[in-house]
């Protein structure tokens, strides 16, 4: 966006300058008008003055009406000034040569050359016009019997033309340098504003996918690049995946689900080379690859993309023919990569420093987020181990101790009083069955690592049939939307809530059917659990704080609240129960 503003500012400056030249062109007709009014007094042919004056007015009208078009045409076709020089030369010829009142008018094309092409253009324009001027003076003498030239006047005209044109050319050069400095300052200010805004927004990012979207948006919309792509490093697999792409023509980035991971081990892989070297690589499918060092934006290596390997590189450069590969390094650890399209980007190299700053900021955000995620996983593992250890100690271990003690006593009574052993063995059998059920429950309560939508459904079905032994309960699942966009804490808590709900249904509701609906859309996850059981009065049930199942209901609400969501319970006696949970899909709070 800021590039467009700078171009518009430069265009406006040139347009205003051209309008000033047009105004000067009109004002320079004042001396010819005065000469026309007093032609007889100064000894000039009034007919020629009239013809010249109206020709000059006609040309001025044309230039005024088509000022914008002529402005652009003049920048791309400087030879147009040559036509103007010939025209003013003709005016000089028919209006008195060295005595012509069109001296100021003659300066118009010379000033235009000075303004648009600076000192060099001014010198070239004056040097080209002087032969035309001398020819006009000679033709005035030979064709119209003009007065003999006064060479001092001619010398003053020639020197004055040089001095005025060169002075204006120098002014134009200074203004161009000031404009360039202003553009540079404006670009630096805009880039700093983009970096500040990006840094602030990255601090509020909830997950790495959100970081990708914000970075890609900043590169395309704020810095003006046509296309950018970002991937994340998987340290375990030693590859880059989770690719997202952003085109300037579209509002939101898109996840490239059909793009496979790029290996970090391939020797001929430009992306892997950039991550390994830790500096920016530029690729060009038609020419050659350029490596940017930290100190200079120059080519420091031989081409590493051959014509034969173009198709192979095109497969993982996402169709970009000319662009940059920016490694995202946090410390010494690669965390991702940015690919930026440079096709049609004239000042892409000027924004290299801003891109490097964005890459550093992005790497820091991703690195810190990965560290937090790793610590959260480690904490979750430790919590799970502690919970399993407590479950084993408080329930299974105690039961096994009693079982072993009973069996030892039974062995001692086997020879002397076998009849007394039967109730003890019956108790041992019941205890063993209870231990078996508790072990199953403990196994199913272990958090599944990669909980996909299919695994979510399968594990809950297995939990109901195996642990709860509810063979007569029919469960229907309806999972919609992008389940894989749910954050791990959201999946974990929803899985636990569904377990608790199914436990309540089996133990208390006497239901025959249950339906679990999951809908993930627009950054929200909505879970609805229904059953056709006996129902209850939620207000009364929640007020009874000493019953275990009611603690489970409160636990559901606490889990949802910890994720920044809500849990609503709807039920009536003999009318079944519905539990509606609404949470952010990217919730990061963890409640156990």
CA distances from 264 to 236, 335, 513 (A): 11, 12, 50
Exposed (0-12), middle (13-18) or buried (19+): which is 69, by Cβ within 10 Å?
exposed
Average pLDDT over residues 3-19: 56
Q: pLDDT tens digits for 561-579?
A: 888 888 888 888 888 888 9
CA distances from 184 to 178, 191, 359 (A): 10, 10, 21
Structure confidence at residue 240 (pLDDT): 84
User: Percent of the chain beyond pLDDT 70?
Assistant: 75
Evaluate whether 282 touches 289 at the Cβ level (below 8 Å): yes
Exposed (0-12), middle (13-18) or buried (19+): which is 534, by Cβ within 10 Å?
middle
CA distances from 10 to 15, 118, 221, 419 (A): 9, 16, 21, 107
The two three-digit tokens of residue 106, written as one number: 């003659």
SS3 content of the chain, % helix, strand, coil (to 5): 60, 15, 25
- For 207-247, where are the E strands, in sequence order? 227-234, 239-247
- Output 429 or 225, whichever has higher pLDDT: 225
Sign of the alpha-carbon dihedral angle for 211, 215, 218, 221: negative
Average pLDDT over residues 142-169: 85
Query: Strand 566-571 relative to strand 254-255: parallel, antiparallel, unpaired?
Result: unpaired
Distance CA 186, CA 191 (A): 8
Average pLDDT over residues 354-372: 82
Average pLDDT over residues 5-31: 72
Chain-centroid distance of CA 310 in Å reads: 26
Residue 57 — pLDDT band, cuts 50, 70, 90?
very high
Count of alpha carbons within 13 angstroms of residue 452, beta-carbon side: 2
Residue 136 — pLDDT band, cuts 50, 70, 90?
confident
Please name each of the domains of the chain with its CATH number.
2-186 (no CATH), 225-374 (3.30.450.40), 447-592 (3.30.565.10)
Query: Could you tell me which residues are beta bridge partners of residue 569?
Result: 579
How many C-beta atoms surround the C-beta of residue 210 within 10 A? 17
Distance CA 589, CA 582 (A): 14
Structure confidence at residue 344 (pLDDT): 63
Distance CA 543, CA 52 (A): 105
Query: Strand 513-521 relative to strand 474-481: parallel, antiparallel, unpaired?
Result: parallel
Q: pLDDT tens digits for 102-134?
A: 888 888 888 888 888 888 888 998 998 889 888
- Output 424 or 449, whichever has higher pLDDT: 424
Helices H, strands E: what count in the chain? Answer: 18, 13
Average pLDDT over residues 531-560: 71
pTM (2 d.p.): 0.46
In the predicted structure, residue 3 carries a pLDDT above the cut 50: no
Structure confidence at residue 286 (pLDDT): 57
Query: Could you tell me which residues are beta bridge partners of residue 283?
Result: 323
Structure confidence at residue 396 (pLDDT): 66
Could you write out the DSSP letters of every residue in 293-331? Answer: -SS-SS--S-----GGGHHHHHHHTTT-SEEEEEEEEET
464 Cβ neighbours under 8 A, 6+ residues apart:
470, 473, 475, 502, 506
Least confident of 187-191, 208-212, 526-530: 187-191
């Amino acid at each position: 966006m800021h590039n467009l503003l700078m171009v518009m500012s430069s265009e406006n400056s040139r347009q205003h300058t051209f309008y000033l030249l047009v105004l000067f062109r009109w004002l320079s007709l004042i001396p010819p008008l005065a000469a026309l009014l007093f032609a007889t007094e100064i000894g000039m042919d009034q007919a020629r003055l009239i013809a010249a004056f109206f020709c000059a007015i006609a040309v001025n009208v044309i230039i005024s009406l088509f000022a914008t078009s002529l402005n652009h045409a003049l920048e791309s076709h400087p030879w147009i000034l040559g036509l103007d020089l010939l025209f003013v030369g003709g005016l000089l010829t028919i209006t008195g040569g060295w005595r012509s009142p069109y001296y100021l008018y003659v300066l118009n094309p010379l000033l235009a050359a000075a303004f648009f092409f600076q000192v060099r253009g001014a010198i070239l324009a004056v040097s080209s016009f002087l032969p035309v001027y001398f020819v006009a003076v000679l033709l005035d003498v030979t064709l119209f019997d003009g007065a003999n030239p006064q060479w001092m006047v001619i010398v003053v005209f020639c020197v004055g033309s040089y001095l005025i044109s060169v002075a204006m050319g120098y002014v134009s050069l200074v203004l161009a340098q000031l404009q360039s400095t202003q553009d540079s300052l404006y670009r630096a200010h805009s880039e700093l504003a983009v970096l500040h805004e990006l840094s602030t927004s990255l601090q509020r990012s909830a997950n790495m996918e959100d970081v990708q979207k914000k970075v890609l948006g900043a590169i395309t919309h704020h810095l003006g690049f046509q296309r950018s792509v970002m991937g994340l490093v998987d340290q375990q697999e030693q590859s880059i995946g989770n690719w997202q792409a952003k085109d300037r023509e579209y509002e939101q980035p898109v996840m490239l689900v059909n793009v496979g991971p790029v290996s970090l081990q391939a020797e001929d892989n430009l992306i892997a080379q950039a991550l390994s070297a830790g500096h920016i690589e530029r690729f060009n499918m038609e020419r050659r690859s350029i490596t940017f060092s930290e100190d200079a934006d120059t080519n420091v290596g031989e081409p590493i993309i051959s014509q034969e390997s173009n198709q192979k590189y095109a497969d993982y450069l996402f169709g970009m023919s000319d662009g940059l590969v920016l490694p995202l390094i946090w410390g010494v650890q690669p965390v991702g990569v940015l690919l930026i399209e440079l096709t049609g980007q004239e000042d892409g190299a000027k924004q290299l420093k801003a891109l490097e700053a964005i890459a550093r900021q992005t790497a820091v955000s991703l690195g810190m987020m990965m560290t937090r995620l790793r610590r959260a996983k480690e904490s979750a593992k430790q919590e799970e181990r502690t919970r399993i250890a407590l479950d084993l100690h408080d329930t299974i271990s105690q039961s096994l101790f009693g079982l072993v003690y009973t069996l030892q006593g039974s062995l001692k009574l086997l020879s002397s009083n076998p009849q007394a052993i039967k109730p003890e063995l019956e108790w041992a059998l019941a205890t063993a069955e209870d231990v078996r059920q508790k072990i199953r429950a403990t196994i199913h309560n272990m958090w599944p690592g990669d909980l996909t939508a299919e695994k979510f459904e399968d594990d809950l079905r297995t939990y109901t049939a195996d642990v709860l032994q509810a063979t007569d309960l029919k469960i229907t699942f309806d999972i919609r939307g992008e389940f894989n966009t749910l954050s791990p804490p959201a999946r974990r808590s929803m899985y636990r809530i569904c377990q608790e709900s199914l436990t309540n249904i089996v133990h208390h509701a006497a239901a025959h059917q249950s339906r679990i609906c999951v809908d993930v859309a627009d950054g929200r996850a909505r879970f609805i659990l229904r059953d056709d059981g006996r129902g209850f009065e939620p207000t009364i049930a929640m007020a009874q704080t000493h019953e275990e199942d009611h603690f489970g209901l409160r636990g559901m609400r606490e889990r949802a609240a910890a994720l920044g969501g809500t849990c609503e319970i709807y039920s009536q006696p003999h009318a079944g129960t519905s539990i509606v949970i609404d949470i952010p899909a990217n919730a990061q709070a963890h409640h156990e």
